[in-house]
Structure 1
Amino acid sequence: YAGLPDEAGHKHGWGTGKYYKAIEHVDSLVGTLISTLKSQGVFEETHIFVVTDHGGKGYGHGGESMEEIEVPWIIKGPGIIKNRIIKQYVNVYDTAPTIAKLFRLSVPDCWAGKPVQGAFMSSEVSRQNKNVYVPKPKASIKSGIYTRPQMLSFTIASPDAEVRYTIDGKHVTSGSAIFSEPIPLTKSCTVYAAAFLNGKKSREARVDYIRVVEIRSISLLTRYSKKYHASGPKSLIDKKRADFDFHHKAWMGFEGTDLVAVLDMGHSRTFRDVVIGTLKNEQSWIFLPKKIELYTSTNGFDFHKLKSVKRDDFAFESSGSNDIVINIGRATTRYLKVIVRNQGTCPKGHPGQGEKAWLFVDEIMVR
C-alpha cells in the first residue's frame, strides 16, 4: 500500500500538481518492482494488480461523485488479455475473488465479489473487450490566466495515434481538426484535445486559456479578515485561483464589509469585461455580492461610473467558486475602481440571521 497520493489529496487537493507528483512517485515504485521482476526472470509469469480504494474531490472523499468512486483496476499476467479495456462492471471487492481464481480456489459464499471474467483470455466474456486503451494527449501548458499569447502543443504516448482538437469549447469528434503544429492562443478560449487510434477515442485533455490585461498594482481601500487574508492585496491580481473550499489560501474574506480596490494598469488599456472570482457557501455564511460597481479614471483621483450589476444579474444556484463576468462592451482607461458590495448580514431564516455575512474573492481580472 502506497499512501502518499491519499496524503497529498487531503493536504493539497485531488487533481493538484502535488497530488500528481505523488502519483508519479508511486508509478516509479511500480517501475522498480517491474525492473526487479525482469532482472530475476520472473516478470512474464507474475500476475500484478494495480488498484486503489477511492478517488477524491477537493480535499476529501467519501461522497458519491464519480471523482470519488471511480478508480483504476489494472491486471497483468499470464492468461490475461493485453492492452484492452474491460467494459464489464468491476468493483474493488472483485479483486480477492479474481486472485482466488488465479490460484484455482473456490470463492466462499459469503464474499460479495466475483472473479473479473472479462480479464481472462479463457473466458467468453473477455472476447467482448476489443477496445484498446488510448492515452489522452498531454498539453504543453496548463489551464490558467495569462497576460501574453501562448503556443499550445500536444504530445501523445502512443506513436500511432493522431490528436484532434477544438478551440471553440466544443468536445472533440473524429471530424475535428488534426493537431500537426503548435496552436497560437491570443484570446481567451477553452481547448479540448483527444487521441484517436483504430477508431477509438481517448479521454479529452482540456486547457482553459484566460487572457487578461496586465495589472501593474492594486490598492485595497477596505479591510480584509486576518483569518482569510490570502497573500495580501496582490493576491487578487496574482493569477492564482482558489477552489470551492473557503480554507484555500487564495481566498480573501471580508466580514460584513465591502471590497473596494483600485487597479492600475500602468497606461491606458482597452478591455471588454471584468471578472470577479467569488465563492458561494451559504451554510458557512458566505454569500455572493449584492452588487458590483465599476469606475474608471485617467489620473487615479477623479473616477466616473462605468457600470454596475446587481445580484439578480449574476445569481448562481449552485454553491462553490463562481466567476462573475461583467460585460463592458468596450472601454479604455488606466485606473479601474472595483467595488464588490457585501450583503451585510445573514438573511432572515438563515442560522446566522442578523450576524455579519462573509464575502470571499480570489481574483479580479480585466479582459
Structure 2
Amino acid sequence: MDIDYANHLYEIEGTLNENQAYELSTKTIGKEIRFTTDGSEPDSSSTVYEAPIPFTADMTLKAQVFDDDEPLGRLFTQEFLYHKGVGATISINKEPHKSYPGSGANGLINGIKGSDSRYGDSEWLGFWGEDLKIRVDFEQELGVNEIELRFYHAPGQWIYAPNDLKISSDPHAPFSKIKPVSKSGNFYNYKIDLKVASSAFILLVPNYGIIPEGHQGAGNKAWTFIDEIIIN
C-alpha cells in the first residue's frame, strides 16, 4: 500500500483574526497556498495567499498548498455566513468548560457554524450544568428581523438542548419565552422573530438541569452545547 506519511505537512489551518479577516497557514515552508472565495477549487492560476482574507460577505473559501503547478495535501474548505452579529461585542456570564472552549464567546458571532457531525470542534461551546446569560451589543442601533441558533442534543452523551429560551431586545424590557421551531437529528433549532430596532439584545439559556433516572448519566448535571447565533 502506497501511503504518503508526509501528507499532513501540507494541511492548511485557518483562523479568523480580530479584524474579521481569515488567516491561512501550513507547516510546509517554501510552498504556496492558493485560494478561491467563490466555492470553486483552486488551481495553479488561483490567487496566491499573501495576507489575511477579508470577510465582509457570505463566502466559501477553498485553499490548497501548491508546489509550482502541483497541488499537495488535502483541499481546505471553510464556509462563512455574514450577518449583523459579525463584529459585534458579546459577553457570557459563564466561561465555557475548559474541555470545550470552542473559540470563546466571540466564536458565537464570527460567521462560522460548528460541525454538523460533532460538538468538539472550535465553534461549539460547551457548558456543564450552568444557566447562561448572553448579551450582544452593536456599535449602533440596528434593525433586527430575526435571530437563529441551534443547540446540540445527544442524551446518550449527557448533552441536552434547552426546552426554551428567553430573549429581550431591551435590557429594561420583559423577556419573551421562545420554544424550538424544529428538531432534526442531534439539533434543536431556534428561530426568533423580532423585527425591532435595537443596539443590544440579551438571551437567557437555562440549563436542562439534572439528568433524570433511566437515562445515561442520571443524577448528574446536563451539558449545554451552543453554536453560531445568526442575526439578520
Other-structure match for 2:174: 305
Q: Conserved in 1, the CA contact under 8 Å of 2:58 and 2:82?
A: no
Question: What are the Cα deviations for residues 69-117 of structure 1, in whole angstroms up to 9, with x where unaligned?
Answer: xxxxxxxxxxxxxxxxxxxxxxxxxxxxxxxxxxxxxxxxxxxxxxxxx
Cα distance change of structure 1 residues 242 and 151 upon mapping to structure 2, 3 Å threshold: closer
Deviation at 1:303, TM superposition (A): 2.7
Deviation at 1:284, TM superposition (A): 0.8
Deviation at 1:351, TM superposition (A): 1.8
The unaligned stretches of length 5 or more in structure 2 are 14-23, 25-35, 41-53, 61-77
Match of 1:241 among 109, 113, 120: 113
Question: What are the Cα deviations for residues 245-297 of structure 1, in whole angstroms up to 9, with x where unaligned?
Answer: 12212221111112211101111111111112321222111111121111122
Give the Cα–Cα distance (whole angstroms) in 2 for the partners of residues 261 and 5 of structure 1: 43
Other-structure match for 1:254: 127
Give the Cα–Cα distance (whole angstroms) in 2 for the partners of residues 148 and 257 of structure 1: 34
Give the Cα–Cα distance (whole angstroms) in 2 for the partners of residues 208 and 7 of structure 1: 22
Match of 1:212 among 74, 83, 88: 83
Question: What are the Cα deviations for residues 330-360 of structure 1, in whole angstroms up to 9, with x where unaligned?
Answer: 1110011111221112133202112100000
Other-structure match for 1:354: 219
AA paired with 2:154?
A: N
Other-structure match for 2:190: 324
Give the Cα–Cα distance (whole angstroms) in 1 for the partners of residues 166 and 182 of structure 2: 16
Other-structure match for 1:266: 139
Other-structure match for 2:200: 335
Q: What secondary structure is seen at the aligned counterpart in 2 of 1:339?
A: strand
Q: What secondary structure is seen at the aligned counterpart in 2 of 1:236?
A: helix
Other-structure match for 2:93: 221
Instruction: Write out aligned runs for 1:270-281 (5 A).
Output: 270-281=143-154
Give the Cα–Cα distance (whole angstroms) in 2 for the partners of residues 6 and 350 of structure 1: 43
Q: Conserved in 2, the CA contact under 8 Å of 1:293 and 1:307?
A: yes
Instruction: Write out aligned runs for 1:127-142 (5 A).
Output: 140-141=38-39
Residues paired across the two proteins, number:
177
Give the Cα–Cα distance (whole angstroms) in 1 for the partners of residues 213 and 7 of structure 2: 40
Cα distance change of structure 1 residues 147 and 259 upon mapping to structure 2, 3 Å threshold: farther
Q: What secondary structure is seen at the aligned counterpart in 2 of 1:253?
A: strand
Cα distance change of structure 1 residues 150 and 212 upon mapping to structure 2, 3 Å threshold: closer
Cα distance change of structure 1 residues 341 and 364 upon mapping to structure 2, 3 Å threshold: same
Give the Cα–Cα distance (whole angstroms) in 1 for the partners of residues 109 and 129 of structure 2: 22
Q: Conserved in 2, the CA contact under 8 Å of 1:237 and 1:364?
A: yes
Deviation at 1:240, TM superposition (A): 2.2
Q: Conserved in 1, the CA contact under 8 Å of 2:80 and 2:111?
A: no
Q: Conserved in 2, the CA contact under 8 Å of 1:215 and 1:263?
A: no
The unaligned stretches of length 5 or more in structure 1 are 13-17, 19-137, 153-206
Instruction: Write out aligned runs for 1:158-177 (5 A).
Output: none
Find the structure with the greater CA-based Rg: 1
AA paired with 2:89?
A: S
Give the Cα–Cα distance (whole angstroms) in 2 for the partners of residues 349 and 276 of structure 1: 29
Q: What secondary structure is seen at the aligned counterpart in 1 of 2:229?
A: strand
Cα distance change of structure 1 residues 231 and 349 upon mapping to structure 2, 3 Å threshold: same
Q: Conserved in 1, the CA contact under 8 Å of 2:96 and 2:127?
A: yes
Compute the TM-score of the two structures, normalised by the length of structure 1.
0.42
Q: Conserved in 2, the CA contact under 8 Å of 1:296 and 1:304?
A: yes
Q: Which has the higher helix share?
A: 1
Give the Cα–Cα distance (whole angstroms) in 2 for the partners of residues 291 and 326 of structure 1: 11
Deviation at 1:7, TM superposition (A): 6.5
